[in-house]
């Protein structure tokens, strides 16, 4: 049996032409949100949403991208379907994805890498990509 709220949310997503995968994901996320509190989301408020986000972070140990899906679903539910007049950036903040720095090879690692490339054509293509001042990374003769 489908609840009136779920049916309304599905219709709201269809009207906005969200992809079937997004619709399925949002319904699943909102369902997990409601089951966490064992109540209809219509009865829950900003403090409950905050508690749920903390639960996803601290107990479920989800990464930022997974939490962002849940946040997007909850925002859609409250902003569009339930038409709550909240400041959603304040009430349901979206997590920032941590920035991961790229791996930079040392000059010795570059020399070792190029030494492993046996094809002269491939080595020639890769060599200009070596950092300037890395004299030891020039093509082997």
The answer to whether the CB of 78 falls within 8 A of the CB of 87 is: no
Report pTM: 0.67
Q: Digits of tens for pLDDT over the chain (141 positions)?
A: 789 999 999 999 999 999 999 999 999 999 999 999 999 999 999 999 999 999 999 999 998 889 999 999 999 999 999 999 888 778 777 777 777 888 888 888 888 888 888 888 888 887 775 556 555 545 554
| 101/23 Cα distance (integer angstroms) | 33
DSSP state of 45: -
Q: Which structural domains are found in the chain, ordered by start?
A: 4-91 (1.10.150.130), 107-137 (no CATH)
With a CB cutoff of 8 Å and minimum separation 6, the contacts of 124 are 139
Give the residue from 113, 110, 72, 62 showing the smallest Cα distance to 94: 72
The answer to whether the CB of 123 falls within 8 A of the CB of 117 is: yes
């Amino acid at each position: 049996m489908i609840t009136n709220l779920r049916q309304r949310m599905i219709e709201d997503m269809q009207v906005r032409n969200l992809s079937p995968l997004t619709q399925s994901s949002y319904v699943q996320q909102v369902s997990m949100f409601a089951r966490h509190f064992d109540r209809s989301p219509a009865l829950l408020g900003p403090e409950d949403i905050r508690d749920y986000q903390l639960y996803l972070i601290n107990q479920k140990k989800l990464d930022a991208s997974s939490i962002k899906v849940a946040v997007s679903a909850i925002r859609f539910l409250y902003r569009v379907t339930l038409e709550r007049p909240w400041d959603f950036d304040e009430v349901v903040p979206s997590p920032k994805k941590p920035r991961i720095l790229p791996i930079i090879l040392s000059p010795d690692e570059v020399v070792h890498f190029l030494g492993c490339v046996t094809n002269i054509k491939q080595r020639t293509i890769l060599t200009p990509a070596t950092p300037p001042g890395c004299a030891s990374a020039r093509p082997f003769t």
